[in-house]
Chains A and B, each alone.
Chain A
Amino acid sequence: MSGNTDSRVGTTYSLPLTLWISLFFVVPMAIVFLYSFLTRDVGGGVRWEFNLDAYAAIFKQTSSGQFIYLDILWYTLWMAVAATVLTILVALPCAYYIARTKNNTLLLFLVIIPFWVNFMIRIYAWVAILGQSGILNEGLMALGLIKEPVQFLFNDYAVLLVLVYTNLPFAILPLFTTIEKFDFGLLEAARDLGATHMGSLRKVMLPNIQGGIITAVLFTFIPIFGTFAVPDVMGDSNTYMLGQLITSKLKMTGDYPGASSLSVLILILTAGGLILYTAFQRKQEKDKMVTIAEDAL
């Protein structure tokens, strides 16, 4: 129904948006792309000599044959997969329970409320709980279970814990919206036909809520590639995630081409994820069409 009228008015209304997006999003992104092919200069600048050095650096090895950046990339990927799997495993039953409860507004509120507290304060609260003089150590020592404080921070588990903590609502909400639309009568039908409770959930419900699961996975998985604060505060200072690597290149060593090439890498990974997502949705629609066609025959 849109797009009939005077295009002069449309141009006027859209002008501020077009200019802003171009100047402060498209141009900066183009510069990042350009910088990723330039040469790093001393003092945090760039020299206008085109080459692929910044990309080659991603595959550079140390003398002992260790890949520095690829290892960081691999580690980030591993953490992202682990955090996403954990998040979905917790979020699925939560969303299911909310969807099956009649007055679920309150339950949804309970999920969202903790996120009204500033992100950084939530991270700090975990430091206050897990730190060496934190509440957990003090409690365990008071109970006489441990003599010396244990270092719960600065390891992968602490990072995973907080990643799951910060991502949970973003997974629960899209899962809830799809599960809510699911026809629970189908579960009963499956059980009447002899399926077990778990079996009916897996074979009947899971395929029907795939869309929600994929959205939840994307919301959890993609941001972890750029995450910086969580591993920086909670993690081992000897292991870097991709976000930390980019930050150190930009803020400490002034390696702009290096930071740019890694940003382009994240961009490609994100684009890849999205292409898979749309391809999956198309396939699902096609499958649906096939089923309808078969039914018609």
Chain B
Amino acid sequence: MTKPRLSKAVFWTTIAFLFLPLVVLMVFSFNEGRTMVWKGFSFRWYESLFLHQPRLWAAVSNTLIVAFTSSILATVIGTLGAIAIHWYRFKAKAYVQAMSFLPLILPEIIIGVSLLIFFRMIGMPLSLWTIVIAHTSFTMPFVLLMVTARLGEFDNSIIEAARDLGARESQTLFRVILPIAVPGIFAGFLTAFTLSLEDFVVTFFVTGSGSDTLPIFIYNQIKRKLPPEINAFSVVLIGVTVFLLFFARRSIKYFVQRK
């Protein structure tokens, strides 16, 4: 068997390319100077990040409010929808399946444009709420997809068994269906949450004044001159993400082992 030497070289070059921006941010977050010229090691931007950047923290808080609210909404509605699609008959099934698949493939800008025009038409002022609605709309299909994939591993017999044993509909839902769907629900929630944190395009259209999320805040700053605190902030963000993912993996393992 030939050793994939060329592909190995391409792979590690690509990894270097992918990590380059992160390394640059990390190194220059400790720079004494304001610019990309190394002036000596310092924590001054970390200090100033926590003391002198209230608008950045306001954007962080907006981002978290939107991400939590929209991903919880998307998870609840998406999970119920997935259960209905997988196990039950209902009238609009084909319509719901088709229409909830579309947002997965359409360029995001279409969702942003259509919701902005819609909100303007019904006279709804742009605020955090319009962002929550928009995020719920484009993340819900992902929850639906992931919960459906999980439910696909089980057939009808477990519901029938629950019924035969005299379970009421609510008991079937809470004691049988939801527990087996947990891994899918969890994956769906995490996906919805990350997509919401990340989103720029859709948010850009439906954000109002004072409701800027983090990507919007950074975008507005890039257009002028970014404060050096952004480097330090990126490093904090990477740290928090790595910690949370580690934590998420642990809890997923916990859920899986308990079963």
Contact = CB atoms under 8 A, between A and B. Distances in A.
Given A128-B25, A266-B110, A114 B200 contact: no
B114 interface: yes
Contact of A93 (B6, B109, B136, B197): B6
Contacts of A12: 84
B85 interface: yes
A134 interface: yes
Interface in B118-153: 118, 120-121, 133-134, 136-137, 140, 144
B100 to A, nearest CB: 5
A263 B110 contact: yes
Interface in B145-202: 155-156, 159, 169, 197-198, 200-201
A129 B28 CA distance: 11
A120 B218 CA distance: 7
Nearest to A200: B2
Most buried by B among A9, A27, A35: A9
B65 interface: no
How many residues of B sit at the interface, in one of the four size bands? 35 or more
Given A18-B96, A29-B114, A226 B109 contact: yes
How many residues of A sit at the interface, in one of the four size bands? 35 or more
B210 interface: no
A21 B84 CA distance: 15
B92 to A, nearest CB: 5
Given A94-B10, A125-B25, A117 B107 contact: no
Contacts of A10: 84, 87-90, 93
Interface string A1-38: 11111110111111011101110111111011001000
Given A117-B234, A119-B215, A13 B80 contact: yes
A135 interface: yes
Contact of B91 (A7, A16, A27): A7
Q: At the interface, is chain B mostly helix, strand, loop or mixed?
A: helix
B200 A229 contact: yes
B23 to A, nearest CB: 9
Interface string A93-120: 1101110100000010011011011111
A13 B88 contact: yes
A152 to B, nearest CB: 13
Given A128-B36, A135-B36, A263-B110, A17 B140 contact: yes
A290 interface: no
Given A17-B81, A133-B35, A25 B218 contact: no
Interface in A44-85: 44
Most buried by A among B88, B113, B233: B113
Nearest to B11: A97
Contacts of A110: 15, 18
A119 to B, nearest CB: 5
Given A6-B169, A93-B10, 15 more contacts: A5-B89, A10-B88, A11-B91, A14-B84, A25-B114, A26-B99, A27-B118, A94-B7, A94-B14, A120-B222, A122-B21, A135-B36, A168-B14, A259-B117, A266-B107
The 4 closest A-B pairs by CB, nearest first: A10-B88, A226-B107, A17-B81, A125-B21
24 contacts: A2-B86, A11-B91, A13-B84, A14-B93, A16-B81, A17-B144, A24-B118, A24-B136, A27-B118, A90-B14, A118-B214, A120-B218, A121-B234, A125-B24, A128-B36, A131-B36, A133-B35, A133-B36, A138-B35, A227-B107, A227-B109, A256-B117, A267-B110, A270-B107
